[in-house]
Amino acid sequence: MNKQTFSLQPFSSTESFPDFKIAGNIARNANLLTISYTLGGDFKEIAIVPPSNAPSRKHELWEDTCFEFFLGIKDSARYWEFNLSPAGHWNVYRFDGYRQGMQEETAFEKLPFNVQSQADGLALVLDVDLSKIVSANQALEIGITTVIKHKNGDVTYWALTHRGAEADFHLRDSFIIEL
């Protein structure tokens, strides 16, 4: 098993950020990928969609607070974007190259994950079998990101690293975790 911890950084801008932290860990055991996020601190100014009684696949989750990760096969232009809403909604998109050929990834009919509100934060954990899209012996490159929507409508972008002049989670050189 390969396991790594992470801490996300906001894209630099002139605005101040609330006193909170986004961290977690990611692990791969054969083709089972486990990722957990913890949003902690003073997040009373963050807009979080309440949990849904019927979580489902939805588009444009990144327009609200959304936990995301990008998974690419090493030495291949193809990659996937996984979107996980605190409300329980989800989606997975496949790309042929940098922002090219975006399609809903139909290999996943559901993406069950667990979201827990805690006194000082929010925790999200996903266990996903990747065997429908990659083989266990393929090396993966992963970018971990989060979109935070503030109650005043502002949006901040958090990632392991920001390699572009603008916040851009699709930049392949930002997929810095290898599993």
State what percent of residues in the chain have pLDDT above 70: 97
Domains of the chain listed by start with CATH number: 2-178 (2.60.40.1190)
Q: DSSP labels for the chain? A: -EEEEEE-EEPP-SS---SEEEEEEEEEETTEEEEEEEEEE--TTB--PPPPSS--B-S-GGGSSEEEEEEEETT-S-EEEEEE-TTS-EEEEEESBTTBS-EE-TT-S---EEEEEETTEEEEEEEEEGGGTS-TTS-EEEEEEEEEEBTTS-EEEEES---SSS--TT-GGG--EE-
- Model-wide pTM > 0.85: yes
Over residues 25-81, the pLDDT tens digits come to 999 999 999 999 999 887 788 888 888 889 999 999 999 999 999 999 999 999 999
